[in-house]
Amino acid sequence: MTETRPRASFGARLRSAVADRGNLCVGIDPHPGLLEAWGLGVDPAGVAEFSRRALEAFGDLVPAIKPQVAFFEEHGSAGIEVLEEVLSWITSAGALSVADAKRGDIGSTMAGYARAWLADGSPLACDALTVSPYLGVGSLDAAFDAAASTGRGLFVLARTSNPEAGGLQGAVGADGTVAQSVVDEIGRRNSGAFPDDVGSFGVVVGATVADPPVLERLRGPVLMPGVGEQGGTLEDVRRIAGPALRATLVNVSRHVLRAGPDVGAMRAVVTDLSGQFSFADAP
C-alpha cells in the first residue's frame, strides 16, 4: 500500500514558488467585457477558453494564479465546473491557486465554506482562499483550522484599496486601526500554528492605500492587488510591504489580460512584470 506524504504547509510551498518564479500573481478574471474583447462568448465555453489561453500564457511563469470566483459563479453550475477545471489546470502548470472568493460567515456556515475550498477531496480545493474577517476574525476559525490541517493557506482582507473601505478598516480603536488589529491577530495565529516555519495565514493589503497597517509581525504572506491600471507602483509595494516584501504576492490582472487574446502578447507582459517584481534578494 502506497503511503501518502503530508502536504507541506502553504507558507513553505509559497516560499519555494516565489524563490523559483518571483513575486507576481496574475488573476484570471473572465468578466463579460474581457470575454467580448477577446471575441469569446459570455458563457461557460467562453470562460473556459479564456482561462485556457491565460494559463497557456503565464501558468509556467508565475508562482501563483488567482481566479476571481464571481466570474465563474455567474454562469451557474456550468461555470463552477469550469472553475474546478481551472484549479486543476493551475496545479498542473506548477503554480499555486488562490481562489478569490472572499468568504466570511459564522459557525456551521463558515465550516461549510472551509470544507468546500480547503478540504482534501473537494473539487473546489485550492492552495489558498481569500476570506473576510469583518464578522470578527474569530468567525473564521473553521477556515484557519482547515487550512492548517491540510497544508493550505488563507489571505484575510485587512486594508483594501476600494474607496468605501477607509471608514471601516481605518477606524481607530484601543489597539490601533481595525486593519492593524486584523494583521496583528493573523500574526499571533501564525506564531501559534507555525512556530518554526513561515506562516500560511496572510493578509490582503492594497498597493494604493495611504495608511497601510504595519506588517512587521505578520510572519506570513501578503497579497497585494492594485498594481498597474489601478495606480500602484513598485515603490508603493516596497513602501507598504516593508519587512514582508519577500513574502508578498503582487497581484496584476487587467494589465495582463488586456494584452490578450494573443498568448504571446500576454506572456511578454508577464515576463516583463516578473522581472520587476522579484524580491528574492530583499532583506
Question: Are residues 177 and 168 in contact, defined by beta-carbon separation less than 8 angstroms?
Answer: no
Return the half-sphere exposure (C-beta side, CA atoms, 13 A cut-off) of residue 278: 15
Cα 176 from Cα 197, distance rounded (Å): 27
Ramachandran area for residue 195 (φ above 0: left; ψ -120 to 50: alpha; else beta): alpha
Q: Give the active site residue among 42, 80, 93, 102.
A: 102
- As a whole number of angstroms, the distance between CA 199 and CA 201 comes to 6
**Residue labelled with grid coordinates 491600471:** 229
DSSP 8-state code for residue 219: -
Closest of 178, 270, 174 to residue 227, by C-alpha: 270
Chain position carrying cell 481562489: 99
Distances, alpha carbon 3 to alpha carbons 6, 149, in Å: 9, 18
Among candidates 193, 194, 241, 207, which has minimal Cα distance to 221? 241
Rg (CA), the chain: 18
CA gap 143, 103 in Å, rounded = 10
Q: C-alpha 192: how far from its chain's center?
A: 22
Residue 66 annotated among the catalytic residues of the structure: no
Residues classed as catalytic: 102
